[in-house]
Structure 1
Amino acid sequence: MRLMITSMRDEAPFLLEWIAYHRAIGFTDFLVFSNDCADGTDAMLDRLAARGIITHLPNPRQGQKAVQWQALTRARAHPLVQRADWIMVADVDEFLVIHAGAGRLDDLFAAAPQADGFAVPWRMFGSAGRLQFQPGLVIEQFTRCGPEALLWPLRAGQYKSLFRNAPHHARLGVHRPRAQGGSAPHGLWVDGNGQKFRPSSSFILSETDKYGLAQINHYALGSAENFLVKTMRATPNREDESIDLGYWIERNFDAVEDRRILRHLPAVRQQIAAFLSDPELARLHEAGIAWRRARIAEALLDDRRSLLFTRLAQAPSTPVLPMELQRRLFRLRSRAQAALRDRAGQEPDA
C-alpha cells in the first residue's frame, strides 16, 4: 500500500486534480482530514469516500495546536497508516514529480532500491502573471518556477518525505517523520538527486542542482485573486504565520519553465472525467468554484485586501539573486536566528 496523508480546508476546486494526479503516479490509498470547510470540500470528500476512492475523517479544531498537527497525531494510530508500506504527507498544492522512468512511484523505487526514505525538495512555482482565478487544472496553468539551484529564500530548501513505514517512526511530521525522542528517522535516506541524505532537519541546503530524480511542484500561490482567498486564513501547520505580501515575494518565481509534470496530463484528465461522471460530485465541484468566486468578490470590496491585490498586480516576479548574495542573506538570517535562540535559551529547530 502506498498511502498519501493530507489535510484540507476549502479546497473544492483543486482536490479532484490532486487526487487524480497522485493516483496516476501510483498512490493506492488516501487518508484525508478536513476542518472548518465552508465551500463543500468536506461533502466532496464524503462522496469520494462513499465511492471507495479515499478515506475521509473530519478533524474539528481543538485547543491551540495547529490543525494539521492535530490531524497527523490522529493519523498515526489509523489502520491505514498501520498497514501502509510507504507513506507521504503532502498538501493539496504539492505534487510529487518523479523524473525517473515513466514518472511513477515504481520508477522512483527502482532508481534507489535501497532507500528507506526520499527527501524530495520543493520547487517553487509562481503565479505566472495570472491575476484572475480560473478553475482549470493547476498543473496546466502554472508552469514557471525557480531554478534548479536556489539557496535563498530559505523556504526553497524545504522538502517533503516519502518513506517506508517502520515501527521506529514514533510520529508523523509535516516535512519528515520522527523517531523516538524526536530524533531523525533511521535507515538510508536519499535526496532529490538520489544521493545519501540525513534528514536531521526539514531543509536541504544546496547551491547546486537538486531535482535530478524527483521534486515537489509547490503551487503555493496560484493567481493573485486566488491568493486573496488564501490570506483569509492561517497556514494549517503554523497558526502564527502571516500570509501576506512577504509570503508572495518568497514564492513567486518564474525564472524557468518546467512542464515535465504534463506527461501525466492525459491520465489526470481521464480520472477527473470519471470523478465528474458522478452528478453529485460534479454539482459539489461547481458549487465549490462558485463559493471561491464569491469570496474573491468579497475580498476585492475589502479595503485592506483590495489594496493587497493592487500591490500583487504591480509586483514583479521574484528575482533569482546572484549566488553570492544568496549566501550573504542566508548567513545573515542564520546569525539572527541563532541570536534569537540564545536569548530564548532554545535548541536549534529540527
Structure 2
Amino acid sequence: MARHALAICAVFKNEAPYLAEWIAFHTQAGVERFFLYDNDSTDAWRPAIAASGQGARVTVLTCPGPEGQVRAYRDCLRRFRDAADWIAFTDLDEFLFAPDGRRLPDVLEEFGRHPGIGVNWMVFGTGGHQDRPDGLVTRNYIRRGATGVVVPYKAYLRSPGLDPLRADSYRPMNSHVKSIVRPTQVLRAITPHHFAFADGGTMVTENEEPFAEPWSPSVSLSRLRINHYWSKSSAELAIKTARGPAWIGSAPSLEYNQAVERRLNAETDTTIFPMARYLPGWQPLFVDPA
C-alpha cells in the first residue's frame, strides 16, 4: 500500500444514509484513504460507499460486539501504522475541515514533528427537524451550541467531587477534542479522543499548546475544525440513543439527551458551506433501498 499524507479511521454501525456524503466530503478536504470498521451493521452500507464515488480509497474491516471503538482504533494503528503520515480518528457524524478552505494535508504540514493534534469541535442540534430531512447533513443542520456551551455530562466535570449543579464545574463541550496523529509515534489509543505517544510526546492544539487529556486547554477553530452533528433530527437522536455509544457500556436516557440537544441550537453556523457545495446539487448521494 502506497504511503498517503492523510487517512481517516472511523467505526460505523447502520450509517448507510450518511456514508456517501461523509466520504465524498473528506476526499474533497484532502483525505486520501479511509479505514472503516463495521460494527455489526445490518443496512446497505456497501452501495452507500460505492455511491460516494471513492470506493477505491476505502478499506472496510469488521469490529463486532459492544464497546469496540478503542479496540478498532488500536487495530488500525497496528495494521496501518506505515500507511499514512497522519491518521485522523473521528466518527461518522463529525466532519473535519480547514475553515479557510485549504486541503487538510497542507495545514498539517505546518505542525512540524508534533505527534498529534487535538481538534476542537462545534456541536450541532436538530435545528428544529423532527424527522430526517431530504438532502445533505452539511446543508440541513446549521444550528449549533454557543462556543463554550456546557452540558452536564459527568465525564465533563473538571474534577471529581465538584457540585454537578454548577455550570462552572464542567469543561466546555467545545474543549473535547478528536485527534489527528502521526501513527508511527503513537503507543496506543487511550480513549476515542486521545492517545499515548512515544518518547513522552504530547498532542498540541491548533495553536501548538501541548496537552495530554481529551480536553484542550483552550478552544480554537481557525486552522482546523470539526462540525459534530451530534443529534441530527429528533427521530435520529432517538435512534442514536437506542443504539448506544461505541466505546462505553452505558448511555444517557433519551430524555437526558433531549435536554442536552436543547442547548445545541443557539447560533446559526454555515462555515462548512463553501467546502460542501461541490456535492452535486446538494442532493443525497445515496438513498437507502430499504
- Say yes or no: TM over 0.5: yes
Where does 1:230-245 land on structure 2 (aligned, <5 Å)? 230-245=240-255
Q: 1:103 to 1:173 in 2, by over 3 A?
A: farther
Moved over 3 A (4+): 42-51, 110-116, 149-156, 170-173, 268-273
Q: 1:46 to 1:34 in 2, by over 3 A?
A: farther
Where does 1:1-350 land on structure 2 (aligned, <5 Å)? 1=4, 2-41=6-45, 44-45=48-49, 51-61=55-65, 66-78=67-79, 80-100=80-100, 102-113=101-112, 115-150=114-149, 152-153=151-152, 154=156, 155-171=173-189, 173-179=191-197, 186=201, 189-192=203-206, 194-198=207-211, 200-206=212-218, 210-252=220-262, 253-269=264-280, 285-287=287-289, 290=290
**Normalised TM-score (structure 1):** 0.67
Cα deviation, residue 243, structure 1: 4.7
Of Structure 1 and Structure 2, the greater helix share is in 1
Identity, % of aligned positions: 23
Name the aligned partner's letter for residue 288 of structure 2: E
Cα deviation, residue 27, structure 1: 0.5
SS in 2 for 1:73: helix
SS in 1 for 2:179: strand
Cα deviation, residue 151, structure 1: 5.1
Of Structure 1 and Structure 2, the greater strand share is in 2
Separation in 1, partners of 2:233, 2:274: 23
- C-alpha contact (below 8 Å) 1:170/1:179 kept by paired residues: yes
* Larger RCO (CA within 8 A; separation ≥ 6): 2
- C-alpha contact (below 8 Å) 2:117/2:205 kept by paired residues: yes
Cα deviation, residue 251, structure 1: 4.0
Aligned length: 266
Name the aligned partner's letter for residue 129 of structure 2: R
Alignment partner, residue 334 of structure 1? none
Separation in 2, partners of 1:239, 1:10: 18
Q: Deviations over 1:265-302 (max 9, x none)?
A: 233338988xx6xxxxx5xx422xx4xxxxxxxxxxxx
Report the aligned-residue RMSD. Answer: 2.9
Separation in 2, partners of 1:167, 1:205: 22
Question: What runs of 5+ residues in structure 2 fail to find an aligned partner?
Answer: 157-172
Separation in 2, partners of 1:214, 1:251: 24
Q: 1:129 to 1:272 in 2, by over 3 A?
A: closer
**Normalised TM-score (structure 2):** 0.80
SS in 2 for 1:250: helix
Question: What runs of 5+ residues in structure 1 fail to find an aligned partner?
Answer: 277-281, 291-350
Q: 1:243 to 1:86 in 2, by over 3 A?
A: farther
Separation in 2, partners of 1:17, 1:66: 26
Separation in 1, partners of 2:278, 2:112: 26
Q: 1:133 to 1:231 in 2, by over 3 A?
A: same
Cα deviation, residue 13, structure 1: 0.5
Q: Name the larger-Rg structure.
A: 1
Separation in 1, partners of 2:55, 2:148: 43
Q: 1:123 to 1:172 in 2, by over 3 A?
A: same
